């Protein structure tokens, strides 16, 4: 039996990440090779013409799974009946802008989009926030869409997770598909903590700990962490544009694993609403290791945390608490 199409919203769809993301969704990379989709693309009025150009290209690509395209600048029309919402649109920080200015702009964007999702999206809509500050944008969205379950509002740290896997694979000269169970803790910012204390590599002699194979704690506790934390800036320096294809690919990975499940014995990183696990303050959107099954994520419990990790986890939590306070001050 052919499946009914799923309506997927992409905001900021005429932008760089949107342009990389929509063909991936239309090809089945996000929801599977047998799942038809209807794409809902939203952008701001100044981008309407470019958005229409993206719609023309989607038609021209003749994707078999793509059963319809809605391209609009109307937020209510964009949100109507969507089961997956990927929030890529936001206000980027420009030179000379204070953090509070950027936060004020994003708080107002996410407040209005939360209301539209609440009123028009499908009841169990899964939301992924990509636009920065991603964790705090997701928190604002949660506040203003109270009927969407808190567990359905997440932010993207899979890009950081994939970056960590990539660095380990490059260092060891192994396939990235053989590296698993890194963890990104905390904020999608330069305070995030990429943790490989529980990560393993598949070898001919079975699974081996990353720390044992790398055999260089100074690198793992130093350069490895800063490389992953600052990878976005390094790509901007190289491309003069921010990460787009890797962000789009990670967004597909995040939703696909959430909807279709993680492989047995493997966890991934997702920014989710904290319940106090690992002594992270409840009420923050914080990146944890999670497994997914039957469309639900759950935090992987019982991983040992050493003193080095604890400090890093607390530092990124402190930044998120400060961002939360800043965001709430922008509301008043």
Active site residues: 188
> Distances in Å between the alpha carbon of 283 and those of 142, 156, 272, 277?
10, 17, 10, 11
Provide the 3-class DSSP secondary structure of residue 90.
Answer: coil
Tell me whether residue 53 is annotated as binding: no
Q: Is 192 annotated as a binding residue?
A: no
Q: Return d(Cα 121, Cα 118) in angstroms, integer.
A: 6
228 annotated among ligand-binding-site residues: no
Q: Is 18 annotated as a binding residue?
A: yes
Token pair recorded at residue 65: 């799974």
> Which residues have a Cβ under 8 Å from the Cβ of 134 and sit 6 or more positions away?
155, 156, 157, 188, 271
Q: Is 107 annotated to bind ligand?
A: no
Q: How far is CA 268 from the centre of its chain?
A: 11
Q: Is 24 helix (H, G, I), strand (E, B) or coil?
A: helix
Distant-in-sequence, close-in-space partners of 250: CB < 8 Å, separation ≥ 6: 156, 158, 159, 161, 162
Q: How many CA atoms does the CB half-sphere of 67 hold within 13 Å?
A: 14
DSSP-derived secondary structure letter, 67: E
Cα separation, 116 vs 79, in Å, equals 6
- The span from the CA of 72 to the CA of 262, in Å, is 33
DSSP state of 186: B
Q: Is 12 annotated as a binding residue?
A: yes
Q: Are strands 193-195 and 183-185 parallel, antiparallel or unpaired?
A: antiparallel
Q: How many CB atoms sit inside 10 A of residue 120's CB? A: 17
Instruction: Answer yes or no: is 295 a known binding residue.
Output: no
99 in a known ligand binding site: yes
Tell how far CA 2 is from the center of its chain: 29
> Is residue 43 annotated as involved in ligand binding?
yes
- Element containing residue 7 per DSSP (H, E): strand 6-11
Here the tokens at position 72 are 């609009």
231 is in an annotated binding site: no
251 is in an annotated binding site: no
Binding residues: 12-18, 43, 93, 99, 106, 130-132, 163
Binding residues for NAD(+): 12-18, 43, 106, 130-132
Binding residues for substrate: 93, 99, 132, 163
């Amino acid at each position: 039996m052919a499946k009914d199409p799923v309506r997927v919203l992409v905001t900021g769809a005429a932008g760089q990440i949107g342009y990389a993301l929509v063909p991936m969704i239309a090809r089945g990379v996000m929801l599977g090779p047998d799942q038809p989709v209807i794409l809902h693309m939203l952008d701001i009025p100044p981008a309407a013409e470019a958005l229409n150009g993206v719609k023309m290209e989607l038609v021209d690509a003749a994707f078999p799974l793509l059963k319809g395209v809605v391209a609009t600048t109307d937020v209510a029309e964009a949100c109507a009946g969507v089961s997956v919402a990927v929030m890529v649109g936001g206000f980027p920080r420009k030179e000379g802008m204070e953090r509070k200015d950027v936060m004020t702009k994003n708080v107002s964007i996410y407040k209005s989009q939360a209301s539209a999702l609440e009123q028009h999206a499908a009841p169990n809509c899964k939301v992924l926030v990509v636009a920065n500050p991603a964790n705090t944008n997701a928190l604002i969205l949660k506040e203003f869409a109270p009927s969407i379950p808190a567990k359905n509002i997440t932010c993207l740290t899979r890009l950081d997770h994939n970056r960590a896997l990539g660095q380990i694979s490059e260092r060891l000269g192994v396939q990235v598909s053989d590296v698993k169970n890194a963890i990104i803790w905390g904020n999608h910012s330069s305070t995030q903590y990429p943790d490989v204390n529980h990560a393993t590599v598949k070898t001919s002699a079975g699974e081996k700990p990353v720390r044992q194979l790398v055999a260089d704690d100074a690198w793992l506790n130093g350069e490895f962490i800063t490389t992953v934390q600052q990878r976005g800036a390094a790509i901007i320096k190289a491309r003069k544009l921010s990460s787009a294809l890797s962000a789009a690919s990670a967004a597909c990975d995040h939703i696909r694993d959430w909807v279709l499940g993680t492989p047995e014995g493997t966890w991934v990183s997702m920014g989710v609403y904290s319940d106090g696990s690992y002594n992270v303050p409840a009420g923050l959107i914080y990146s944890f290791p999670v497994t997914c099954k039957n469309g639900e994520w759950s935090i992987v419990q019982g991983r040992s945390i050493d003193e080095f990790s604890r400090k890093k986890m607390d530092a990124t939590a402190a930044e998120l608490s400060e961002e939360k306070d800043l965001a709430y001050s922008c509301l008043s």
